[in-house]
Amino acid sequence: MKRLSVLVFALSTATGMAACGTHTKSIKFSTTKFAGAEAISVADQARLDANCPDGAPKPLPDWPIGKTEMIFRDGFVLEHSSEWKVPYWVCESLDDADLHGGVPRKNNFRADDKLTVGLRAELSDYKGSGFDRGHQAPAGNQTKSVTLKDETFVLSNMIPQNGNQNQQIWATLEDTVRGWAEQSSTATSVRVITGPVFHTDKDLEQGFSEIDTVGTNNVGVPKAVYKIVVGTVGGERRAVAFLIDNTAQKKPFDFTKFIVTIQSIEEHTGFNFMPKLDPADRVKLETQKGTLFK
């Protein structure tokens, strides 16, 4: 693995995360903004509205997220980093009907042909890296359409994920969220936002972050992975956010130990995840720790 040093411009007080790596070089990113509705087709706007009803996550002011591209699919929408060749965030909507279609899994991992060669991950980047190709929008969330399931295997929907974390605690969390989507008390679809975290508390305090990369395209290895779940339970709108280090985790898994505020994840990633929330909902959903859906 290589290690790159990135300048960052934010402060945070949330949980720290461990990093590893071998080589470093300094780089600096310019900031970028979400293109906005005027640059989106009618079909893509519909996909965005369906998967990100509270608005597409937007960069916070002065955050060095670099060049990005939006990817719109029926099953999920994401913002892809041309620097790190991973999604910064993936939004999806999940309901009971998505989970009982019976379409089997086929591991059709491949580069995303919506992205330019050199600005995307390739299968060769992951080969021999020691990391899983970790889904952000899980294949298990799409069972009613072969196309929808197959599209989850594009590498734009992947991050280099610790195999133990991906296959154990993360898989269990994905199953848990699917269980919430099946609840009769969940009046509307569960909305899920998932993505990588590259910057620890120490990184933000000192103004730079060392990021490990794999492959010839320098695919960024996150230090942690987040998942934000929003739904209506018992007539009340609820949200809960999880932040889990991209390392092996010991059983038994107690997800209450990984609950953080949405605001703290925003501070570590540089994105406002639900920009259309009104102020009252923002205080309720983003600044307070949520609880597990029952």
Query: What residues are annotated to the active site?
Result: 135
Rounded CA-CA distance 257/24 in Å is 33
> Do residues 166 and 129 make contact, with C-beta atoms less than 8 angstroms apart?
no
Rounded CA-CA distance 168/24 in Å is 31
CA angle 196, 283, 65 (to 5 degrees): 30
3-state helix, strand, coil in the chain (%, to 5): 25, 30, 45
- Name every residue whose Cβ is closer than 8 Å to that of residue 76 and which is 6 or more positions away in sequence: 51, 90, 91, 92, 137, 151, 152, 157
Q: Which residue has the tokens 């320098």?
A: 218
Q: Which residue has the tokens 């720290």?
A: 16
- Calculate the alpha carbon distances from 241 to 170, 262, 273, 285 in Å: 13, 6, 11, 10
Looking at residue 29, the DSSP 8-state letter turns out to be P
